[in-house]
Structure 1
Amino acid sequence: MPRAPATPAAERRAAAVRALLELAADMAPDQISTAAVAGRMGVSHGALFRHFPSREALWTEAVHWSTGELEIRLEALAGQAFRDPDGEVAALLKAHAALVQAHPGLLRLWFAELQRPGTSPAREEGKAFMGRFRRRLQEVIAAGQARHWFEPDLDPGELAGLLVAVHQGLMLQGLAHDSLDQLGERTEQAMGLILRGWHRRPPAEAGPEAAPGG
C-alpha cells in the first residue's frame, strides 16, 4: 500500500503555530503543553518534536511568525498617501490591532512572555519588533513636525512611547473584558485624542491696542 505523501516541514510548522494560538485564545499560555498542541494538530507528540525540539522553540516560532506578519502589514502601509500624520499613526496601530483581533491567543502569548522572569528568544524577538515599531511611529511624528503639524518642542520618541503604552493598555483592557472586537476603533479614537493635544496651534492674533487712559 503506497504511503501517504509527507507533509512539508514548513506546512507542519505553520500548523503547529496555528494550533498553539488557537489554544492560547482559550487558556493561559503557561498551561499549554506541547502534547496539547500535538493533539490539536492531530499528530503524535513525537511528530511535533521532530520540528520543535522544545516548548521554547515552538513559542519562539509563534512570535517569529507574528512579527513577520506584522512587518508585512506595516510595509503595505508604506506606499499609501495619508492626509496627515494622525492618519498614518492610526493606520500603523490599527494594523497591529487587526492581527491581534484575528489571533487573540497571540496577545496572551506576547504578554505571558513579557511577564516571564529572565529572558528567552521569543521575548527578545518581541522586544526587538516593538523597538522597531516605536521607531516607525517616532519617524512619522518627526515628519509631522517638519510639516508644522505638531508642536516643534515635542519629543517624538516620548510621544511614540506614550502611544504604544496606550495601545498596549487597550489590548490588556480587551483581554480583561474578553472582547477585542472594537480594538481598532478604540485605538483610532484614543490616538486622535492624544495627538490633538500636540497639534501646532497658530499664533494668537494681536488684540486691539488699549485705548488711551484705559
Structure 2
Amino acid sequence: MEASVSANRAYHHGDLRAALITATFELLAEQGLQKFSVAAVARRLQVSSAAPYRHFPDRDHLLAAVSGVAARELNSAVAEAAGAAGPDPGDRLAAAAGAYVRHVYRTGAGLPVIYAAGLSRIEDDGRQQHTRALMATLMDLAAATGTPDQRETLLLVEATIAVAHGYIALFADGFFTRGHHSADDIAARAIEAARTLTK
C-alpha cells in the first residue's frame, strides 16, 4: 500500500515520531477510531511494540498529536471551501460540510478523533490552539447566516457537522456502494443537505 510505504520511508529517515503520526492517520482512514491501537501502528511501521512509547507515553498522547494536526488541516480545508463558495453565508457554511466529508475520507480523522474522550486531560498547547481555531471558524460561518444568539449558532454548527459526519459514516459503512459513488459525490450530497439548514 502506497500510504504505508510513505510512513515507513519517514521512519527510515530517522523521524519515528512523524512516522507514527502519519501511520496513525493511515490506520484511522482504513479502520476507524474504534479499531485503532498503538500496536497496529508499530506493526505498520515494522518496529517493536515498545518503540512508539519512546515518543508517546500512551494511546491518548499519540491521538492528541494527531488531533492537533487534523484540526489544523480541517480548519484550513473548511476556510478554503468557504472562500470558494462565494459570498452567500448559507453556501459558505454548507461548503464546510463538503470539506469535512473530504477530510474524513482522506484522513479518517473527523471530530470524534479531534475531540476524542480523554484528550482534554493532555496538556498540549498546539492541539488546543488548533481545535479552538477550528471551532471558531465553524462558529463564525454559522453566525454569519444570521443566527440570533450563540446557542443557536452552536446548534447550527452541530447540525451541519452531524449532516456531514452522517454522510461520510454511511459511505464508510458501504451504504452508498451500490451506486458506485465517490467521496466527491458524497461531499456534494452533504453540501446540498447542509444548505437546507439555513433556508
Same fold, judged at TM 0.5 (above)? yes
Whether the 8 Å CA contact 1:134–1:160 is kept in 2: the answer is no
Question: Is 1:175 matched up with 2:169?
Answer: yes
Alpha-carbon separation, structure 2, partners of 1:51 and 1:68: 21
Whether the 8 Å CA contact 1:25–1:103 is kept in 2: the answer is yes
Range moving further from structure 2, 32-41 or 56-65? 32-41
Alpha-carbon separation, structure 2, partners of 1:165 and 1:78: 17
1:155 is aligned, of 148, 152, 163, to: 148
Alpha-carbon separation, structure 2, partners of 1:43 and 1:58: 16
Alpha-carbon separation, structure 2, partners of 1:122 and 1:164: 26
TM-score, reference length from structure 2: 0.67
Q: Sequence identity of aligned pairs in percent?
A: 23
* TM superposition shift of 1:119: 4.2
Q: Which runs of 5+ in 1 are unaligned?
A: 143-153, 197-214
* TM superposition shift of 1:109: 5.0
Question: Is 1:45 matched up with 2:38?
Answer: no
Alpha-carbon separation, structure 2, partners of 1:176 and 1:75: 25
Q: 1:183 to 1:54 in 2, by over 3 A?
A: same
Residue 193 (structure 2) aligns with: 190
* TM superposition shift of 1:67: 0.8
Whether the 8 Å CA contact 1:24–1:109 is kept in 2: the answer is no
Alpha-carbon separation, structure 2, partners of 1:192 and 1:134: 14
Provide the secondary structure at the position in 1 that maps to 2:47: coil
Question: Is 1:36 matched up with 2:37?
Answer: no
Residue 203 (structure 1) aligns with: none
Residue 121 (structure 1) aligns with: 122
TM-score, reference length from structure 1: 0.63
Letter of the structure 2 residue corresponding to residue 188 of structure 1: I
Alpha-carbon separation, structure 1, partners of 2:28 and 2:82: 31
- 1:26-75, Cα deviation, whole Å (9 max, x unpaired): 54635433222111122223432232232221110110110111233244
Q: 1:93 to 1:109 in 2, by over 3 A?
A: closer
Letter of the structure 2 residue corresponding to residue 121 of structure 1: I
Alpha-carbon separation, structure 2, partners of 1:50 and 1:37: 14
Range moving further from structure 2, 48-57 or 23-32? 23-32
* TM superposition shift of 1:186: 2.4
Provide the secondary structure at the position in 2 that maps to 1:29: coil
Letter of the structure 1 residue corresponding to residue 13 of structure 2: T
Q: 1:193 to 1:15 in 2, by over 3 A?
A: same
Alpha-carbon separation, structure 2, partners of 1:102 and 1:122: 27
Please identify runs of 4+ aligned residues in structure 1 that moved more than 6 A: none
Q: Which runs of 5+ in 2 are unaligned?
A: 1-10, 177-182
Q: Count how many residue pairs are aligned between Structure 1 and Structure 2.
A: 176
Question: Is 1:91 matched up with 2:95?
Answer: yes
- How do 1:196-207 and structure 2 match up within 5 A? 196=199
Letter of the structure 1 residue corresponding to residue 159 of structure 2: V
Whether the 8 Å CA contact 1:86–1:195 is kept in 2: the answer is yes
* TM superposition shift of 1:185: 1.6
Alpha-carbon separation, structure 2, partners of 1:41 and 1:108: 26
Q: 1:50 to 1:158 in 2, by over 3 A?
A: same
Q: 1:168 to 1:86 in 2, by over 3 A?
A: closer
Whether the 8 Å CA contact 1:16–1:37 is kept in 2: the answer is yes
Q: 1:169 to 1:133 in 2, by over 3 A?
A: same
Q: What is the RMSD computed on CA atoms of the aligned residues?
A: 3.6
